[in-house]
Amino acid sequence: MYYVYLLKSRTKQFKNLYIGYTSDLKRRIEEHNSGLTYTTRQLLPVELIYYEAYKTKEDAKKRERALKWHGKALGQLKRRLEKSLM
């Protein structure tokens, strides 16, 4: 399985989300929180707020790309997450 995931900083000063994909979600979150990932190092600590599972790497990469580069896809997901957190 491959996973597309969203991370959020636990500190209030950062409001950005990090979007990525991996085949080992637990290991990847640990890498982020250990400071091993350059792109999230300044956001530490981070928490997993959402993930989706895919059977193929290609499908996961396609979804990650849609979330990163197509504002509509990310906007829809954010609205869905806001409603579920209420």
Q: Is the pLDDT of residue 75 over 70?
A: yes
Sheet holding 2-9, edge to edge: 17-22, 2-9, 46-54
Distances in whole angstroms, Cα of residue 2 to Cα of each of 8, 14, 28, 39, 85: 20, 27, 12, 20, 25
Is the pTM higher than 0.85? The answer reads yes
Q: How do residues 31-69 score in pLDDT, each as one tens digit?
A: 999 999 999 998 899 999 999 999 999 999 999 999 999
User: Which class would CATH give 2-85?
Assistant: alpha beta
